Amino acid sequence: MLAAERHEYLLEKLRSEGKVVAKDVAAELRLSEDSIRRDLRELAAAGKCQRVYGGALPISAAIADYGTRTELNVGGKQSVARAAAALIRPGQTVILDGGTTTLELVRELDRELALTVVTHSPTIAVALLAHPNVEVFMLGGRLFKHSAVTCGAAAVEAAAQVNADLFFVGVTGVHSETGFTTDDADEAAMKRALARHAADTYVLADADKIGTASRFVVLRAPEIAGLITDAPRNSQALELLAAGGLPITYATGV
């Protein structure tokens, strides 16, 4: 089997099964594990999979630049945002992560809602200018342009001064094995820091992110209050997470 044929075989297995286990594929194709691992390294270098111990997982489309992500699955993000907005009560203190789904959440808020919002996203802060009864606290730090959020030591230190009722966090990957992931180490650390200062953390993830993985773990399922997604209920990744006890809100049609 030619290398190109093996690559296509591996990609099809990722699409159909949601993961590749190197030793199993090696046995199926009667090849060495080293050959399969080399193929997976090449696919990962080309941005077509995320390597993990023993194999690979599908890569998320959400690692694209911010402008591109604003055009991906807009309807799904709006459904997720409506379900998330329904959890917010007047007078609460809410931490909003950056990203395109949390921006949709701001658009779903009642214009007269009285609220305190803490955010490390300039985009979110500007969007809240149209909400006269929302008090906004910005967390400063180094601007991570990919997601239009602040990260780094200064931002983490500022987050330590916050106590919030809710934290809505975006991720680029949701998988039963790797948990909730993103593609930048500093951004992952910032999200974890914010989660430590909220009573309840909810992950917002549209269907494009379900069953995929990125390089850095943000949180594991036991660390969050729930997942809100527009993905179908028969998603294998979601079935496995639900079986482990994770509360999932299915926002399709919300």
Tell me which of 42, 59, 76 is where a domain ends. Answer: 59
pLDDT of residue 68: 58
Both 101 and 207 in one domain: the answer is yes
> How many angstroms separate the CA atoms of 219 and 205, rounded?
13
Both 240 and 223 in one domain: the answer is yes
> How many angstroms separate the CA atoms of 57 and 39, rounded?
13
Tell me which of 37, 59, 81 is where a domain ends. Answer: 59
Distance of CA 131 to the CA centre of its chain: 26
pLDDT of residue 88: 98
> How many angstroms separate the CA atoms of 90 and 179, rounded?
31
Cross-strand partners of 116? 93, 135
Both 103 and 212 in one domain: the answer is yes
Residue by residue, what is the 3-state secondary structure of 43-107? Answer: HHHCCCCEEECCEEECECHHHCCHHHHCCCCHHHHHHHHHHHHCCCCCCCEEEECCCHHHHHHHH
Beta-strand relationship, 115-119 and 93-96: parallel
Host H or E run for residue 213: none
> How many angstroms separate the CA atoms of 148 and 122, rounded?
7
Q: Are 50 and 173 in contact (CB under 8 A)?
A: yes
Both 112 and 159 in one domain: the answer is yes
Both 116 and 186 in one domain: the answer is yes
Host H or E run for residue 123: helix 122-127
Both 33 and 70 in one domain: the answer is no
Both 52 and 171 in one domain: the answer is no
Could you give phi then psi for residue 134, rounded to 5 degrees?
Answer: -105, 120
pLDDT of residue 62: 65
Tens of pLDDT along the chain (254 residues) come to: 778 888 988 988 888 888 888 888 888 888 898 999 899 999 988 888 888 888 898 887 766 565 555 556 678 899 999 999 999 999 999 999 998 999 999 999 999 999 999 999 999 999 999 999 999 999 999 998 878 899 999 999 999 999 999 999 999 999 998 999 998 999 999 999 999 999 999 999 999 899 999 999 999 999 999 999 999 988 888 999 999 999 999 997 54
pLDDT of residue 137: 97
Both 90 and 147 in one domain: the answer is yes
CATH number at residue 99: 3.40.50.1360
Beta-strand relationship, 226-229 and 198-204: parallel
Number of H helices, E strands in the chain: 10, 15
Could you give phi then psi for residue 167, rounded to 5 degrees?
Answer: -130, 125
Both 159 and 238 in one domain: the answer is yes
The CA–CA distances, whole Å, from 31 to 23, 45, 244 equal 9, 21, 35
How many structural domains does the chain have? Answer: 2
Q: Write out the residue range of the structural domain in which residue 142 sits.
A: 66-250
- Report the predicted TM-score, pTM, of the whole model to 2 decimal places: 0.85
Tell me which of 43, 59, 75 is where a domain ends. Answer: 59
Both 55 and 74 in one domain: the answer is no
Both 101 and 74 in one domain: the answer is yes
Both 113 and 146 in one domain: the answer is yes
pLDDT of residue 205: 94
pLDDT of residue 63: 63
